[in-house]
Structure 1
Amino acid sequence: MATTPPAPPGEGSPHARRFGLPTATALVMGNIIGGGIFMLPASVAPYGTVSLVAFGVLTVGAVALALVFGRLAERNPRTGGPYVYARDAFGDFAGFLGAWSYWITTWVSNAALAVAAVGYLDVLLPVQGSTWQTVFAALVIIWLPALANLAGTRYVGAVQVVATVLKFVPLLLVAVGGLFFFDADNLGPFEASGDGALGSVTAAAAILLFSYLGVESAAMSAGEVRDPRRNVGRASVLGTVGAAAVYLLGTVSVFGLVAHDKLVGSTAPFSDAVNAMFGGSWGGTAIACAALVSMVGALNGWTLLSAQAPYAAAKDGLFPKVFERRRRGVPTVGVLVGAVLASLLTVANFSGGASGAFNSLVLITTFTATVPYLLSTAAQLYFLFSGSGARVRSGRLVRDAVLALAAFGFSLWLVAGAGYAAVYQGVLFLFAGVLVYVWLAARRERARDGREAEPGQEPGSADGGQAVLAPSTTRSAPTVEPASSEAR
Structure 2
Amino acid sequence: MKSVTSKYRRDMGMLGVLFIVINGLIGAGIFGLPEALHAAVGTFAPWLLLIGGLLVMAIVVCFAQLTKLTDRSGGPQRYVGDAFGHYPGFVIGWTFFAARLISQGANVLVLVAYAAALWPLVGEGPAKIALIVTILGGLTIINVVGIKWVVAVLGAMTLFKILPLLILIFVGVSAASSPANLVLPQFSAVEGIALAALYAFVGFENATIPAGETKEPQRAMPRALMIGLAAVTLMYFGLQWAYSYSVIAGTGTDAPLTALAREYAGDIGASLIAATIVMSVLANLTAGHTSASRMPPALADDGLLPDWFAKVSRWGTPANSIIFFGVGAVLFSLWDNFLVLAAISTLARLLAYILSIIALPILRKRANLPAVNLTILIAAPIALSLSLWLATQTNIHQWQTLGGFLLAGTMLFFIARRRSRPLI
Question: Normalising by the residue count of structure 1, what TM-score does the alignment of the two structures yield?
Answer: 0.80
**TM-superposed deviation, 1:413:** 2.9
Q: Which amino acid aligns with 2:154?
A: Q
Secondary structure, in 3 states, of the residue corresponding to 2:200? helix
5+ long unaligned stretches in structure 1: 192-196, 449-488
Matched, 1:391 2:391: no
8 Å contact from structure 2 (residues 62, 357) kept in 1: yes
Query: Which residue in the other structure is 1:134 paired with?
Result: 128
Counterpart pick for 2:392 among 416, 421, 435: 416
Residues 314, 85 of structure 1: CA spacing in aligned structure 2 closer, same or farther, 3 A cutoff? same
**TM-superposed deviation, 1:428:** 3.4
Matched, 1:374 2:354: yes
Residues 375, 20 of structure 1: CA spacing in aligned structure 2 closer, same or farther, 3 A cutoff? same
Query: Which residue in the other structure is 1:218 paired with?
Result: 207
8 Å contact from structure 1 (residues 31, 302) kept in 2: yes
Residues 443, 224 of structure 1: CA spacing in aligned structure 2 closer, same or farther, 3 A cutoff? closer
**TM-superposed deviation, 1:324:** 0.2
Counterpart pick for 2:73 among 79, 84, 88: 79
Counterpart pick for 2:329 among 314, 318, 342: 342
**TM-superposed deviation, 1:400:** 1.7
Q: Which amino acid aligns with 1:346?
A: S
Q: Which amino acid aligns with 1:44?
A: L
**TM-superposed deviation, 1:186:** 11
Per-residue CA deviation, residues 123-150 of structure 1 (Å, 9 max, x unaligned), is 2212355333223222322222222112
**TM-superposed deviation, 1:189:** 7.5
8 Å contact from structure 1 (residues 317, 440) kept in 2: yes
Query: Which residue in the other structure is 2:39 paired with?
Result: 46
Measure, in 1, the Cα distance between the counterparts of 2:367 and 2:247.
51
Measure, in 1, the Cα distance between the counterparts of 2:286 and 2:81.
27
Secondary structure, in 3 states, of the residue corresponding to 2:267? coil
Counterpart pick for 1:17 among 6, 10, 17: 10
Per-residue CA deviation, residues 100-138 of structure 1 (Å, 9 max, x unaligned), is 011013212211221111121112212355333223222
Matched, 1:331 2:321: no
Query: Which residue in the other structure is 1:69 paired with?
Result: 63
Q: Which amino acid aligns with 1:64?
A: A
Residues 226, 37 of structure 1: CA spacing in aligned structure 2 closer, same or farther, 3 A cutoff? same
Write the mapping of 1:467-478 to structure 2, written as runs, cut at 5 A: none
Counterpart pick for 2:20 among 9, 15, 27: 27
Residues 5, 106 of structure 1: CA spacing in aligned structure 2 closer, same or farther, 3 A cutoff? same
Q: Which amino acid aligns with 1:210?
A: Y
8 Å contact from structure 2 (residues 90, 304) kept in 1: yes
Counterpart pick for 2:416 among 440, 460, 464: 440
Counterpart pick for 1:89 among 80, 83, 93: 83
Per-residue CA deviation, residues 356-382 of structure 1 (Å, 9 max, x unaligned), is x51x21211110122221121111033
Matched, 1:275 2:253: no
Measure, in 1, the Cα distance between the counterparts of 2:91 and 2:353.
12
Measure, in 1, the Cα distance between the counterparts of 2:257 and 2:369.
47
Secondary structure, in 3 states, of the residue corresponding to 1:161? helix
Question: Normalising by the residue count of structure 2, what TM-score does the alignment of the two structures yield?
Answer: 0.92
Counterpart pick for 2:342 among 351, 362, 369: 362
Query: Which residue in the other structure is 1:57 paired with?
Result: 51
8 Å contact from structure 1 (residues 114, 139) kept in 2: no
Measure, in 2, the Cα distance between the counterparts of 1:433 and 1:231.
32
8 Å contact from structure 1 (residues 117, 138) kept in 2: no
Residues 114, 397 of structure 1: CA spacing in aligned structure 2 closer, same or farther, 3 A cutoff? same
Residues 88, 185 of structure 1: CA spacing in aligned structure 2 closer, same or farther, 3 A cutoff? closer
Query: Which residue in the other structure is 1:311 paired with?
Result: 297
Per-residue CA deviation, residues 131-183 of structure 1 (Å, 9 max, x unaligned), is 33223222322222222112211101101111111100111112232100112
8 Å contact from structure 2 (residues 47, 237) kept in 1: no
Matched, 1:7 2:13: no
8 Å contact from structure 1 (residues 51, 201) kept in 2: no
Compare CA radii of gyration and give the structure with the larger one.
Answer: 1
The runs of at least 4 aligned residues of structure 1 exceeding 4 Å deviation read 184-190
Q: Which amino acid aligns with 2:4?
A: A
8 Å contact from structure 1 (residues 83, 98) kept in 2: yes
Query: Which residue in the other structure is 2:154 paired with?
Result: 160
**TM-superposed deviation, 1:420:** 4.4
Measure, in 1, the Cα distance between the counterparts of 2:77 and 2:40.
37
Measure, in 2, the Cα distance between the counterparts of 1:95 and 1:70.
19
8 Å contact from structure 2 (residues 248, 260) kept in 1: no
Residues 329, 304 of structure 1: CA spacing in aligned structure 2 closer, same or farther, 3 A cutoff? farther
Q: Which amino acid aligns with 1:68?
A: C
Query: Which residue in the other structure is 2:105 paired with?
Result: 111
**TM-superposed deviation, 1:209:** 3.3
Matched, 1:295 2:273: no
Q: Which amino acid aligns with 1:230?
A: R
**TM-superposed deviation, 1:90:** 0.2
**TM-superposed deviation, 1:258:** 4.3
Q: Which amino acid aligns with 1:440?
A: A
Per-residue CA deviation, residues 227-248 of structure 1 (Å, 9 max, x unaligned), is 2111110111111111111122
Counterpart pick for 2:116 among 111, 119, 122: 122
Residues 203, 100 of structure 1: CA spacing in aligned structure 2 closer, same or farther, 3 A cutoff? same
**TM-superposed deviation, 1:425:** 2.9
Per-residue CA deviation, residues 56-113 of structure 1 (Å, 9 max, x unaligned), is 3321232122221221121112111111111110001111001101101321221122
Residues 91, 346 of structure 1: CA spacing in aligned structure 2 closer, same or farther, 3 A cutoff? same
Query: Which residue in the other structure is 1:454 paired with?
Result: none
Alignment: residue pair count: 420
Query: Which residue in the other structure is 1:253 paired with?
Result: 242
Query: Which residue in the other structure is 2:196 paired with?
Result: 207
8 Å contact from structure 1 (residues 68, 404) kept in 2: yes
Secondary structure, in 3 states, of the residue corresponding to 1:363? helix
Q: Which amino acid aligns with 2:10?
A: R
Residues 43, 426 of structure 1: CA spacing in aligned structure 2 closer, same or farther, 3 A cutoff? farther
Measure, in 1, the Cα distance between the counterparts of 2:163 and 2:40.
28
Relative to structure 2, which stretch is displaced further, 83-92 or 67-76? 67-76
